[in-house]
Structure 1
Amino acid sequence: MQNTKTQYEPGVSLEGVSKYFGHPDAPVIALEKLDLTIGDGEFVAVVGPSGCGKSTMMRLISRLSPASTGQISVFGDVSKEPPVGMSIVFQNHVLLAWRTIIDNVLFPAEMTGKNKEKFRAHAMELLDSVGLKDFANRYPHELSGGMKQRASIARALLLQPRLLLMDEPFGALDALTREQMRIDLEALWLKNRMTVVFITHSIDEAVLLADRVIVMTPRPGRIERVLEIEMQRPRGLAARRAPEFIEKSEEITEIFLSRGVLQRHA
């Protein structure tokens, strides 16, 4: 078992970051004045109600969308270009239907002009680590939803990213598959120690996966609270019985109750 109390060097930093949409005279405020530092190698989960700007935050960090105010630094880089060494996993696996699973995993190497054959052994290791080695030559339509998402995660790890952004990657999965994916993802993170920003609606998922949980307010999205999660790793099925899991989950639930996001009675 590993203790999660770790000192991290700064990785991703948001200073006074806001995001507005619509006409300047009547803007829709998606995010407002975010100040947050995520450590290099830290696993951070962002949890909040629909429409609070979680996915928008991810797009700002990835620089797929510009911030309206403030500055975002990714490993010291404040340029407007997508960060070097970044991978993204979306809720939809977005595998290419006409390519085999191994060729889907190798796709990032091709896209960046690298010789994919030099990455084939590593791609097979990744597929093995997510239980898909025997499906390397199958096509996406031959895999279940959970298997496709595991392939998507393997693809995101091919080039050994320093930053992994995950936008509700388990949202479309059934409960049992989702639980196994959570365990698999933690194992991959413990092995690779990349910086992870994990967007989710699930309080349980956030507490079970993260070093810290960022709790967002309803729109306009602000950071309501940052919770340190010091549960030992790995956090298997038994982690749900841990006193800290229960305590932190209840604390987040109370925040959402106080905000009217959750109701005690229907």
Structure 2
Amino acid sequence: MKYNTNNTSVRLLISCHDQPGIVSAVSTFLHQYKANIVQSDQYSTDPSGGMFFMRIEFEMLDPEFDIKMIRTAFTEIGRSFDMDWRIELASRKKKMAIFVSKEDHCLLELLWRWRAGEIDVDIPLVISNHPDLKDQVESYGIPFIHIPVTKATKQQAEQEAIQKLHEHSIDFIVLARYMQILSPDFVGTFPKRIINIHHSFLPAFIGANPYAKAFERGVKLIGATAHYVTDDLDEGPIIEQDVLRVNHRYTTEKLRVAGRNVERIALARAVAWHINDQIIVHGNKTVVF
């Protein structure tokens, strides 16, 4: 799905309890402020008392419009329907930080798509607990920051990383096979703004070494899961999942190679959807438009 990203393109995301009048109120508001709806998607879990989710992309006909004024004006509607909502300017590039350890397949997939213009985002820095990928990252003109992590220094390392992220006004973080468990303090600093790729089709084979576990079970599908990070390990809201068919001829190493291919694609999709404001998080689930 391709979206406009000019200076007058705006995105509105809404979630609230389903009730009469929501679409009418939003449409009237947009007409009042001279907005032309380009794309509108909505979903209701149950028309009689369930949840209502909506994503609208619209063009402001006045090129001198004030996005802050639009947000302030919409507050009254949001309050009247008890909405969880946000309005985003499509042309504002989000700032993405990448965390990585030693494996490079997910990292390089993101960097290649970024350089090719497939993901419209700024990448001010890559942070790693190992120095191995420094040359590869810097070849893209992106600063590489090595922050070693040990049991004794974990809290200090996280604080250093948080400071770097704040210095660069990072909007969200991607864990591109970052082999560290983040503390509740770190996760709480960036709620719903940390995307992880798990090398398994969750909830199966959680934790470490899933390909060995998958081999032992004789699986016929290898999968990967991209999800938002929460305090519950590998149990955050799922954004995207993908699979590849395998068979009894696949060794553990062949399963690992197949899994890497799925990981790259699933993570890249999840990142693109987050950048394009296509995701609404509700509880421990996501609605992806």
- Does the pair score TM above 0.5? no
Q: TM-score, normalised by structure 1?
A: 0.27
More strand by share: 2
More helix by share: 1
Rg: which structure is higher?
Answer: 2
> Which has the higher relative contact order, 1 or 2, with Cα contacts under 8 A spaced 6 or more apart?
1
Q: TM-score, normalised by structure 2?
A: 0.26
